[in-house]
Amino acid sequence: MQVTVRCSGQLRAALGTSSVILELASGASVADAVAAVADADADAAGVRPMLLDEAGAIQRTLVVAVGSTQVADATGHALVDGDTVTILHPISGG
């Protein structure tokens, strides 16, 4: 299935793009999608630690949404074909 992942803030700057289209196995979770973004651009400086902690879990500083709703359980939330995942990297510019 195909899933679009939108990225913001300094994560977007590090990735060099505002969105990534992923091909994921049926039943993949939000956590799988985020991990795939981290793996997809392993050469991009600093992307992986922006997304995942040392244990491989999604950084708690991120707000992750599917469609227009923040996800409570990224591991348990199964995606469907055509979903859009948004990763809101925290920003504090004033």
Partner 1 sequence: MHPLTDEDRAVYEWQMWSPGFGEEGQRRLRNASVLVSRCGGLGSVVAYELAAAGVGRLILAHAGDVKPSDLNRQLLMTHAWLGKPRVESARRRLLELNPRLDIVAVAENVNEENAAQLVGQADLTVDCAPLFSERFAMNRQSVAQGKPVVECAMYDLEATITTVVPGKTPCLACLHPSEPPQWKREFPVFGAVSGAVGCMAAMEAIKVLAGFGDPLLGRMVQIDLRDMSFHTFDLRRDEQCSVCASL
CB within 8 A of 45, min separation 6: which ones? Answer: 14
CB of residue 26 vs partner 1: minimum separation in angstroms?
26
Burial class, 4, CB count within 10 angstroms (exposed 0-12 / middle 13-18 / buried 19+)? middle
Q: Select the residue interacting with partner 1 from 1, 24, 38, 88 (CB under 8 A).
A: 88
Of the two residues 1 and 65, which places its CB atom closer to partner 1 in the complex? 65
By CB under 8 A, tell whether 24 contacts partner 1.
no
Q: Select the residue interacting with partner 1 from 15, 33, 50, 85 (CB under 8 A).
A: 50
How far the first Cα of the chain sits from its last, in Å, is 39
Contact letters for partner 1, residues 65-84 (x by CB under 8 A): x--xxx-x------------
